[in-house]
Structure 1
Amino acid sequence: MVVVTVSKDDNILESINKDDLVVVHFYADWAAQCGPMNEVIEELDKQSELRGVKFAKCPAEDFPELSMKYNVTAVPTFVLLRAGSLVDRVDGANAAELTKKINSEISKTSGSTNTSLPTAVDLNTRLSQLINVAPVMLFMKGNAVEPRCGFSKQIVAILNSHNAEYKTFDILNDEEVRQGLKTFSNWPTYPQLYINGSLIGGLDIVKEMNENGELEPMLPKKTSLETRLKSLINQSNCVIFMKGSRDAPRCGFSKQLMQIMEETDVKFTTFDILTDEEVRQGLKTFSNWPTYPQVYIKGELIGGLDIVKELKESGELLNTLKGE
């Protein structure tokens, strides 16, 4: 069975047998740990077809009531459910612990441990995936906004001084990664900086490279938000910012808009604002339009679903979409 993506919070398990064990991954696109863990549950799903285990993904911030119901306060979090009731949970990106708890629940109903799932992704594979989440990855205590040790605070300050584009991983949230990465990279302390999948080193090495001018040329630079937004808005004649994609809208308004657009045969590009919180919030201010979806023609905002509906009813939609 394909991993189900939560699209409404009133009955997320409507297509899943109530007797099945259901594992729900509460995630966020901006969290570096969540991408590799989505791969973990997809691999587990392939292995669980005959074992009565089903998997679902839930964007935690889009479903606050559901997150509150299962006491999800950070991502990634995994809840194990039967008939909607919580039977176990795993807080943090811990593939081994998740597999262990799923196997424990399987054995309770099967009466045997022979049906257990094999480990989904070994630690070295996870570490390799995490190191390559972004061109520049910093494994640290805390995050870029709230470093939780002096060394991490200093290395963040250096990266920020160069306006560097980078992602961070909080090793305090995952003991398996914290210990495993020391062996994997043969580097015993944190923070650890990786560029293009290769270890650069810790704070002392980064300081030295910064002082002799070697560091800055290696760092990709952040593009200003305004420049990014202008580039996105003008990537084609018709650009739609929405929740989800053309083939998989993730809210009712976006779905309605896609149905209208498909009737016009006008070529258009979509951008999933759920994948980029900076764009999601920044575009509201940039265009002075507080909701999504948003439709742009030749770089100019037309409006949202209501405006498109009005244009359709008045017979002006096609000409508007063509920029006439």
Structure 2
Amino acid sequence: MGGSVKDVKSKSEVDEVVGTASPVILHFWASWCEASKHMDQLFSHLSTDFPHAHFLRVEAEEQPQISEAYSVSAVPFFVFCKDGKTFDTLEGADPSSLANKVAKVAGSINPGEAASPASLGMAAGPAVLETVKELAKEHVSSKEKSQIQPGLSGPLKKRLQQLIDSHPVMLFMKGTPEEPKCGFSRKVVDVLTEEKVKFGSFDILSDLEVRDGLKKFSNWPTFPQLYCKGELLGGCDIVIAMHESGELHKVFEDHGINIIGEAKETDSGNAKGGISSSTDLSTTLASRLESLINSSPVMLFMKGKPDEPKCGFSRKVVEILRQENVPFESFDILTDEEVRQGLKVYSNWSSYPQLYIKGELIGGSDIVLEMQKSGELKKILHGKGILPQETLQDRLKKLITSSPVILFMKGTPDAPKCGFSSKVVNALREEGVSFGSFDILTDEEVRQGLKSFSNWPTYPQLYYKGELIGGCDIVLELRNNGELKSTLSE
């Protein structure tokens, strides 16, 4: 291996290396992402410090098959493999975590010591280490800010609104249009240049108050952010998708944004309600989309099905909804091109997945993830009366504590359906013990679930204050020893 980074070009190439017993670290990156470039320098130096591990570099957008296999939805992204299996992952520019996770999967440089940036070896050099330190500071700072999120003050809200309204087309970006400081910002500038529209810009790196405040004001966690006539259009991915589909041009046209070098078109009278005729959905389709959106309190339009997502973004939203334990329905937009294209217009949201709660669009993967992390998703669900489903485990816990003494049996105490259950009922009654009961023949879910929950494969099962006492043999033994009543009254 010799301490070098290998660029991989196919999934089979990755599978071959991951299939070995050696530790493997993959870096999913993008050439336009500055954070990727900085982290890649550290990645290269780590390969020198850990020569017995394989370090693979994957250009995420150029290798969608590999990216999808590892559920990559943002860069930089790292995957740590060992013995042919995924051991851990890391999303974002977190140098310290990268170093420590590499050490964990590949073995520390110095046994017993964490591989913090300061101990990466002389190979890194002062310039790289300085960059690593700055990235680490920024990472810690952003984590601290995410934990303490005070409300926006009145003056700041007013200032943000004034900035947004300062130009018909307004871009909040890193750097300036002439000197963008990140690949995402550069791409949006290029799109606006191609669209030939005049736009204002604000360098969010120059003002921390605006940078942090606008995230909350717009409920959009990343930059750049593009606005048209005070309305947020979205970030880099959405702007590019709208541009490529021609939708962005139509939005500018509908809002009366002048195209550089062209005279402003007069209203021909064909547009309806401010929506151009080309984007006006038929009544039938609009009605169908509205019906689909409202077919479930929580509705997800995705690629594939919840059990078989066809893209990493859809998979991530499914995982979040399952973690929140809320019931939801889904629609596979790959099966219906009319719905796929129509919903983009209907919702004014150009990508998938799209999550709706009580008919209201929440957003896509990044927004849903950010809302879950901040706790806002749970608040919205609760606010709209959508409560977490009771899991089987929750239900079993409630059942076994529903009475101080509870017997899970076949049949009822007055009509047992098996001899073992009858014997336990008689033993409890002979000892004068009051008890509740549950007929496991009436509920197959409880019948099978309780076996795993209690790690006890047969019935009856007797519980006291939520704790399993045992089955028929144990209950009879306790009675014969004169211990049953005292055991159930401790």
Please state which band the TM-score falls in when normalised by the shorter chain: 0.3 to 0.5
Higher helix share: 2
- Greater C-alpha Rg: 2
RCO (CA 8 Å, sep 6+): is it higher in 1 or 2? 1
- Normalised to the residue count of structure 2, the TM-score between the two structures is 0.28
Q: Normalising by structure 1, what TM-score?
A: 0.40
